[in-house]
């Protein structure tokens, strides 16, 4: 496209975008305005109906649970796509740099970095589990906790080297976590059908409000989503790390 | 008080967002984008959206810099 054609295209598209945005923004509730009727209703109903203290979790995993199901599968599809795209191509090989110079060892990290990684990775694993399991009580949940769990593996890499972190992320385990997590969401949804209600109905015992085991399927769904997201983000990091560390162009 | 916190958050997002666009070196941009993400998380928190703030922190501080930095390392390795 020539420069002139692009300018003409921009001159038409920019005002159209400005008008569409302006109309949309004008329709927004004003800053600091009162809560919408829907928000007020859910704030009132969710703690009593679902025994949760974090209403956002009740919306994303119960009232709007089907939306989150699709989001899970978007993440699954995205990670599967990245795994396919970042595989070693026919003109690439997968070898450690050490294979070329066996006499040179990988330098060990400084003790301070190593200690920081040990402390931080265990702390991240704990925070991740806490965030996943308390999704129905406090802000957070399966997605946020899952990413924090996966980041514990990243920290292991920062404090050690590729060889060590490879042992922490066996590909079959990560892929199984990704798949069973996503499938688990569907299975929990089917529990509703088995109980004679509709798909994704909250048919498990609700427990006492404010307890760790409360919210029925909301708690269970947070758990499977946490497993899936942790697997997904660990695969994501492993694929990118492989590209950087061990996949190189085959020399003719 | 509440308005003051929101104003600080909005100013932080405006300044750091502009800084991301004006940074030309992708490596530095990844770090500046991290500060921008932190500002966004602070803004969400000041608006009492704790769940969104947490999501913003994990995506902006963990996932995005990781992918950008590893991609840059790969591109640099291929150039050598």
pLDDT value of residue A157: 85
Contact assignment for A248 to B70 by CB distance below 8 Å: no
pLDDT value of residue A102: 67
Average pLDDT of chain B to the nearest whole number = 90
- Contact with chain B for residue A57, Cβ under 8 A: yes
pLDDT value of residue B56: 93
Q: Chain B residue closest to A152 (CA)?
A: B62
Query: Band of the pLDDT at A168, cuts 50, 70, 90?
Result: confident
Neighbours of B73 (CB within 10 A): 16
- Contact with chain B for residue A2, Cβ under 8 A: no
Q: Which of A148, A154, A140 is nearest to A124 (CA)?
A: A148
d(CA A161, CA A241): 11
Q: Is the pLDDT of residue B6 over 80?
A: yes
ipTM above 0.90, yes or no: no
- Per-residue tokens: A97: 């740099």
Q: Residues, chain A, total? A: 252
pLDDT value of residue A126: 96
pLDDT value of residue A82: 92
- Contact with chain B for residue A97, Cβ under 8 A: no
- Contact with chain B for residue A82, Cβ under 8 A: no
How many domains in chain B? Answer: 1
- Per-residue tokens: B50: 């704790």
Q: Which of B10, B62, B58, B20 is nearest to A240 (CA)?
A: B62
Mean pLDDT of B13-41: 93
Please, what is the Cα angle at A158 between A156 and A162, to 5 degrees? 75
pLDDT value of residue A20: 96
Contact assignment for B51 to A154 by CB distance below 8 Å: no
What range defines the domain where residue B57 resides? 2-79
Q: pLDDT tens across A194-247, in order? A: 988 889 888 888 888 888 888 889 999 999 999 999 999 999 988 988 888 888
Q: Residues, chain B, total? A: 80
d(CA B37, CA A17): 26
pLDDT value of residue A101: 65
Q: Is the pLDDT of residue A34 over 90?
A: no
Measured between beta carbons, the chain B residues lying within 8 angstroms of A236 are 63, 67
- Per-residue tokens: A82: 């990245």
Q: pLDDT tens across A104-157, in order? A: 666 778 889 989 999 999 999 999 999 999 998 999 888 999 999 999 988 888
pLDDT value of residue A5: 93
d(CA B47, CA A126): 27
Query: Band of the pLDDT at A164, cuts 50, 70, 90?
Result: confident
Neighbours of A206 (CB within 10 A): 20
Mean pLDDT of A40-47: 90
- The count of C-alpha atoms lying within 13 angstroms of the C-alpha of A26, restricted to the half-sphere facing its C-beta, is 6
pTM, entire model: 0.86
The DSSP annotation for A79-104 comes to: HHHHHHHTS--TTEEE--GGGT-TTS
Contact assignment for B70 to A241 by CB distance below 8 Å: yes
C-beta contacts of B50-57 below 8 A and 24+ residues apart: B50/A56, B50/A138, B50/A139, B50/A140, B51/A54, B51/A56, B51/A57, B51/A139, B51/A140, B51/A141, B51/A144, B53/A139, B54/A131, B54/A139, B54/A140, B54/A144, B55/A143, B55/A144, B57/A144
Mean pLDDT of A26-40: 84
Q: pLDDT tens across A80-103, in order? A: 999 999 888 888 887 776 666 667
Q: Is the pLDDT of residue B80 over 90?
A: no
Q: Which of A241, A252, A249, A251 is nearest to A94 (CA)?
A: A249
User: Three-class SS of residue A249?
Assistant: strand
């Amino acid at each position: 496209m020539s420069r002139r054609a692009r300018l003409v295209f921009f001159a038409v598209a920019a005002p159209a975008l400005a008008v569409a945005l302006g109309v949309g923004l004008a329709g927004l509730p004003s800053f600091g305005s009162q809560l919408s009727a829907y928000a007020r209703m859910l704030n009132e109903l969710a703690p009593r109906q679902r025994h949760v203290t974090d209403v956002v979790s009740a919306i994303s995993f119960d009232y709007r649970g089907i939306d989150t199901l699709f989001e899970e599968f978007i993440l699954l599809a995205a990670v599967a796509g990245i795994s396919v795209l970042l595989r070693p191509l026919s003109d690439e090989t997968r070898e450690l740099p050490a294979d070329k110079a066996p006499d040179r060892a990988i330098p060990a990290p400084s003790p301070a970095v190593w200690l920081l990684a040990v402390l931080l990775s265990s702390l991240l694993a704990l925070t991740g589990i806490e965030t996943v399991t308390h999704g129905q009580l406090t802000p957070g949940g399966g997605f946020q906790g899952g990413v924090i769990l996966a980041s514990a593996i990243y920290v292991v890499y920062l404090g050690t080297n590729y060889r060590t972190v490879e042992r922490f992320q066996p590909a079959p385990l990560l892929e199984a976590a990704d798949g069973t997590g996503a499938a688990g969401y569907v299975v929990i949804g089917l529990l509703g059908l088995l109980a004679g209600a509709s798909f994704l109905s909250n048919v498990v015992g609700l427990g006492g409000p404010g307890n760790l085991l409360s919210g029925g399927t909301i708690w269970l769904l947070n758990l499977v989503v946490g497993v899936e997201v942790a697997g997904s983000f660990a695969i994501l990091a492993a694929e990118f790390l492989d590209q950087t560390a061990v996949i190189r162009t085959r020399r003719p | 008080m509440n308005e003051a916190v929101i104003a600080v958050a909005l100013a932080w997002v405006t300044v750091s967002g502009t800084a991301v666009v004006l940074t030309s070196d992708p490596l530095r941009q990844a770090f500046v984008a991290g500060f921008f993400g932190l500002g966004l998380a602070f803004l969400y928190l000041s608006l009492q959206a704790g769940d969104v703030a947490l999501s913003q922190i994990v995506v902006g501080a963990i996932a995005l810099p990781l992918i950008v930095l590893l991609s840059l390392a790969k591109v640099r390795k291929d150039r050598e």
